[in-house]
Amino acid sequence: MKIHKEGRKILFFTLLILLVLNMVLYYFNSEHLTFNRIFSGISFIVFLLILQFFRSPYRNLLLHEDLVVAPADGKVVVIENVEEPEYFKDTRKQISIFMSPINVHITRNPVSGIVKYFKYHPGHYLVAWHPKSSTKNERTTVVVESLAGPEVLFRQIAGAMARRIVWYVTEGDEVNQGEEFGFIKFGSRVDIFVPVDTEVKVELGQKTKGGQTVIAQLKTTNSGSIFG
């Protein structure tokens, strides 16, 4: 288990602040030992909670050019056909994964290919399951032309707690399935948009693991399927 690079500075300053607070408390409030011990215990729990949020577990990545893998750990909360207004401007199948604060918040490329479009949108911080969060919240939109042919759009969406989205891709980049394309701090959601004839491989409420769980299979004549 590693600590993700996005969390190292936060963890360092959190630890420093908690240590200073505890030292000051023990020095100036030494007669209230029980209170000091309770505060130390709470400090330890707070640090562990932040530490687990930035964990970066090793993953055996699943690679196959006509499969779409989960871009994040979380739970499938949306599977439906919708109008995608930003890039495709037509009907697409949307699959959304909600990431709670206890999930790993690394976001991964669902397919391999070339980044054809990227845009960052500043916005609000509605709760991630709000119907308008995908169009009103702070978010990024990435479109990759997959090796199988179809273009796949995926979108990082900030939630009520997530106040910073980080991304590592730009237009023209070649990306590999399962590799990191970004990070969302403290809970949010990822939307994936695929052609309507795409075969969905997950169900509502199903838990996903980024880079491992197959969420869909693209229609293509250029590659086979491991599902038979």
CB-based burial label for 74 (10 Å; 0-12, 13-18, 19+): buried
C-beta neighbour count of 219 within 10 angstroms: 14
Q: How far is CA 79 from CA 43, 97, 136, 180, in A?
A: 40, 10, 20, 24
CB distance 109 to 168 below 8 Å: no
Sign of CA dihedral 86, 87, 92, 93: negative
For residues 88 and 195, give the distance between their C-alpha atoms in angstroms, rounded to a whole number: 10
As annotated, the active-site residues are 188
